[in-house]
Each structure stands twice: as structure tokens, then as C-alpha cells.
Amino acid sequence: MGNKILIVDDQYGIRILLNEVFQREGYVTYQAANGMQALEIARKHHPDLVLLDMKIPGMDGIEILKRLKEIDRDVKVIIMTAYGELDMIQETKELGALMHFAKPFDIDDLRAAVKKHMTA
């Protein structure tokens, strides 16, 4: 079973919250505030699952997703977005994202989704 989660979000509070929740669940967590950090961590630590925010300054979620899949095409990615941009969500699915959560999301729903995909 996979146990490494990379949390990619430019909002510090969300990263800290998710980090705390998933560490308590027994996962090894990594945090990135931007695309370059995310890709560096992905290369070094090979996370099993990535929680990826779509709206990140510098490199957007679509670009990060494409590059993550270049590093490891089997990495599981769950998208988090504060924007109901259906075209962007559709594009992420075509690029291999498993699902998306609209912010603000229910933390229990997100925990259940992570657990489901980490044991699959």
C-alpha cells in the first residue's frame, strides 16, 4: 500500500491542515507551495498520491500535472480547486487526474477519497 502524499497548494493554511490530517492517518506527507517545489519533491520522494491545487502562481495546476505525469505516469492525482472551471477539470481528467474537489471541501470526503485511492 502506498503511503506518501504530496500536498501542493500556495495557501499555507490549507497545506498545514492537510498535512496534519494525513500525518494523523499514518501517511508520510510532503508540502509544496509552488510547481517547482512540487516537481523537485516528486523527483526525490516519488509520492504515491498528489493533492494538487489548480490555481498556483507561476506554474498552474495543469502544467504541474503534466510534468508530474512525465516524472511518474502512475502517480495518482486528486485536484483541488476553488474555481468551478469545468473545462479545466475536464482537461485534468484527460491528463490522468482521478477526481476533483471544489474548495471549500469537506475534509472527511477528501480523507475517504485519499484512503480509497491509496489502497486501490
CATH number at residue 20: 3.40.50.2300
Predicted TM-score of the model (pTM): 0.95
Residues 6+ apart with CB under 8 A from 77: 49, 50, 52, 65, 68, 69, 92, 96, 97, 98
Note the Cα 80 to chain centre separation in Å.
7
Percent of the chain whose pLDDT exceeds 90: 84
Residue 106: the pLDDT is: 95
Written as nine digits, the cell of 99 is 477526481
Residue 1 clears pLDDT 60, i.e. is over it: no
pLDDT tens for residues 45-103? 999 999 999 989 899 999 999 999 999 999 999 999 886 667 788 899 999 999 999 98
Residue 83: the pLDDT is: 67
Domain that holds residue 107: 4-119
Q: How many domains does the structure of the chain reveal?
A: 1
Residue 120: the pLDDT is: 80
